[in-house]
Amino acid sequence: MKQSECLKILNLARKSLEEYKNWGENEVYKASSANVSCGKAVFPKTGRQAFYAEISSSGEELGELREKVSFCKKCPLGEKRLNAVFGCGSPDADLVFVGEGPGYDEDHIGKPFVGRAGQLLTKIIEAMGQARESVYIANIVKCHAMIDPSNPEKRSNDRPPTLEEMEICRPYLDMQLEIIKPKIIVTLGASSTKGLLNSIESISRIRGSVREYKGIKLIPTFHPAALLRNQDLKKFVWEDMKKVMHYLDTGEI
């Protein structure tokens, strides 16, 4: 590994330690050091070329799917939105975050979680010792669900997607997951949790529990927007993220 890459990792680690303090942690999460090294990178037995070819293939498949989603009009949301918000991150991510849908900022920029809630999600990811680019972030619906669809330029015009809208759009998320093949999914908030698990439990009751979606481990937690309204929820989200980190590190949950 290049010295510049090592320095980047060390800087990320320092930021992570700072975030631990911000999240009220007195003890740093102790991940296994077995896979942490600034020495020579280790690639699968299939070899370096096959390793990069697999990532390239996943990226190309996601690109083709992104193009398909950009023209989607399967439900009324596609008629009024400004941009289809497909998703972003690593095409071979072990961890995928799934929100409910794009809001005003996301609809205008075309990327998920770019507003205040998105900035908080980035801090959560960094506190986990990850970079936003190393995970994958998507939504269960790809278009902006609005109270007044005739006015996409209006702020505070967001609404949760309906069950029907999630049902229509969910196959796109399923295809994303099939391409990425993550080890674990984190659903953010009640809508995405209900949309994937078809659960009637409140997010307060179901958060932190370990479920499965299409054979992939899934842990629901509060949406970052809820944390902006209620700081007391941060400790519960951090408890949930520690479960995620433990699973990624050990394969046990």
Report the CATH number at residue 166.
Answer: 3.40.470.10
> What does the alpha-carbon distance between residue 127 and residue 171 come to, in Å, rounded to a whole number?
31
DSSP 143-156: S--BSSTT-TT-SS
In this predicted structure, what is the pLDDT of residue 17? 55
Q: What pLDDT does residue 9 have?
A: 54
| Alpha helices (H) along the chain | 3-22, 48-70, 77-80, 104-109, 116-127, 163-180, 190-197, 203-206, 224-229, 234-250
Spatial strand order of the sheet with 211-213 comes to 88-89, 136-139, 95-99, 184-188, 216-221, 211-213
In a domain, 36, yes or no: no
Model pTM score: 0.81
Q: Is position 30 within any domain? A: no
Residue 167 lies in a domain: yes
Q: What total number of domains does the chain contain? A: 1
- pLDDT computed for residue 40 by the predictor: 34
Which stretches in the chain have pLDDT values below 50?
A: 2-7, 27-45, 48, 51-52
What tokens does 193 get?
A: 């949790």
Domain extent, residue 78, equals 3-25+41-250
How far are the Cα atoms of 17, 31, 77, 184 from residue 10, in angstroms, in the given order? 11, 15, 43, 25
